[in-house]
Amino acid sequence: MSAPSQTYDVAVIGGGLVGASIAYGLAKGGTRVAVLDEGDIALRASRGNFALVWVQSKGMGMPEYAGWTVRGAGLWPQLAAMLKADTGLDLCLEQPGGFHLALSEAELEKRKGLLQRLHNQPRMHSYDYEIMDHSRVKAMLPEIGPQVVGASYCPLDGHVNSLRLFRALHTAMERAGVRYLPNHPAEQVAYEAGAFRVATPRGEVRAGKVVLAAGNGNARLGPMVGLDVPVRPQRGQVVVTERTQPFLRYPVVTVRQTDEGTVMLGDSVEEAGPDPTVGLPIVSSIADRAVRMFPRLGGLNVVRTWAALRVMTKDGFPIYDQSVSCPGAFVATCHSGVTLAATHAFVVAPAIAAGRLPAEEFEVFSARRFHVPAAA
């Protein structure tokens, strides 16, 4: 496939969930979009995710992020309906509420304290959550083991078939006229005379605006258009079992049963640098906790494990930013590409189409927050 010669309104760099959600939103609004992506093998956070649409406990230290996440979860049914109408694909979105299970009194106390502090923050967008003891949890999740002492439950949580989301976004992008360009890794981005030129091994792509949605690749691309994007890879590993009959009606933050019947067990948080290989002590620990939560999991066969690299900032919150020196250059990066997919399509994309991220909504997510001197 050779690079097309025409110019686009927007070039989105990155064809993962963040890039595809924004490109879909842009194209639905009538913008002419090209999505530049790497080839078959790349570090792809959005193919390795855990597929939760998750609210509880997010936003400690940045209450606006809690609000942003609640909004994202609220917009999700609309995204699922729209993608279904566009592609016929059912994303199996379920938002029955979700659990965080504690395997000791200490873990439960810690959990309780965290959620209290979270909701006591000034400007916090408060929402319902509940701390439950073993018997309360057992009533809703009958298969829990005796080591589960309790849980936090939040009715806003849910999950989705994230591979189908990925497929639906790509199918819908194509139908909405997005030009998807695989094997086009962005090597250079240049700003000249009010437009952008993206150099790839297969030729140059020109666009009036550019959106950096390249995950950890944004750290390298950002400075080319006057954006600082301090992100680092953080490894997460996931274990998947064979299919089994439905036994889990609610997603648990580290155990969820997919619509296909497999059970996903996850997911670790490791500062391992850019190494995406699977480590046995970690997957063993994942398996151990999962079996203590749901003893029946012990008898299931593992069919896959994988490691993927999250796109992580110093404070764990996303970066949405626009360039001052190269107007028309934007960056969107986060480690919750599933939870925030609807927000990216319905809130971020229209703002980019309009040419400006409104300060009242996005200022707090600017990377300038990392530039404040420590003593100030």
Partner 1 sequence: MTAQFPTSDTVSYDTKSDTKARDLPKAVDLAVVGAGPAGLAAATLAASAGLSVLLLDENAGPGGQVYRAITTSPLGEGRVLGPDYWSGAALAREMLASGATYVPGATVWSLSRELELGVSVGGQAHLVQARRVILATGALERPMPIPGWTLPGVMTAGGAQTLLKSSGLVPEGRIVLAGCGPLLWLLAAQYLEAGVRLEAILDTTARENWRAALPEAFGFLTSPYFRKGLALLRKVRAAVRIISGVTTLAAEGDESVTAVRYATAGGESGRIELDTLLLHQGVVPNVNLANAAGIPLVWDAEQLCFRPDVDAAGTSPVAGLAVAGDGAGIGGALGAAERGRLAALAAIAALKPGAPVLAQRPQVEAALHKALRGRAFLDRLYRPADGFRRPAPDTIACRCEEVTARQVTETVALGCAGPNQLKSFLRTGMGPCQGRMCGLTISELMAEAQGVTPAEIGYYRLRAPVKPISVAELASLPKDESAMKSVERG
The contact set with partner 1 (CB under 8 A) reads 1, 37-41, 47, 57, 100, 107, 110-111, 114, 163, 166-167, 170-171, 174, 180-183, 239, 241-242, 253-254, 265, 267-270, 277-291, 297-306
**Which CB atom, from 301 or from 325, has the smaller least distance to partner 1?**
301
CB-nearer residue toward partner 1: 91 or 351: 91
**Phi-psi category of 68—alpha, beta or left, where left has phi over 0 and alpha has psi -120 to 50?**
alpha
Q: Which is nearer to partner 1, 102 or 367 (CB)?
A: 102
Q: Which is nearer to partner 1, 264 or 311 (CB)?
A: 264
Q: Answer yes or no: are the C-beta atoms of 224 and 188 closer than 8 Å.
A: yes
Measured from the CB atom, the residue of 40 and 192 that comes closer to partner 1 is 40
| Residue 321: other Cβ atoms inside 10 A | 25
Closest to 254 (Cα-Cα) out of 278, 282, 280, 233 = 282
> Which is it for strands 7-13 and 33-36: parallel, antiparallel or unpaired?
parallel
In the complex with partner 1, the residue whose CB is nearer, 18 or 357, is 18
Nearer to partner 1 among residue 123 and residue 304 (C-beta):
304
For residues 230 and 202, give the distance between their C-alpha atoms in angstroms, rounded to a whole number.
28
In the complex, minimum distance from the CB of residue 109 to partner 1, in angstroms, rounded to a whole number: 11
Query: What residue has token string 């890039």?
Result: 19
Return the number of the residue (35 or 326) whose C-beta is nearest partner 1.
35
Q: How many CA atoms lie within 13 A of 97 on its CB side?
A: 13
Closer to partner 1 by Cβ: residue 204 or 270: 270
Shortest distance (Å) from residue 357 CB to partner 1: 28
Minimum CB–partner distance for residue 301 and partner 1 (Å): 4
- Minimum CB separation of residue 294 from partner 1 in Å reads 10
Look-up: residue for tokens 């319902």?
A: 128
Q: SS3 of 153, please?
A: strand
Min dist CB 318 to partner 1, Å, is: 19
Q: Would strands 203-212 and 7-13 be described as parallel, antiparallel, or unpaired?
A: parallel
* 234 backbone dihedrals φ, ψ, rounded to 5°: -130, 125
- φ, ψ of residue 88 to 5 degrees: the values are 80, 0
Classify strands 195-200 and 188-192 as parallel, antiparallel or unpaired: antiparallel
CB of 6 to partner 1, least distance (A): 17
Determine contact, residues 83/89, Cβ cutoff 8 Å: yes
Distance in Å, CB of 272 to partner 1, minimum:
9
Could you tell me the two tokens for 156? 């806003």
DSSP label of 243? P
Give the nearest distance from C-beta 190 to partner 1 in angstroms: 25
Min dist CB 104 to partner 1, Å, is 10
Give the Cβ contact number of residue 249 at 10 Å. 13
Structure tokens at 360: 């009242």
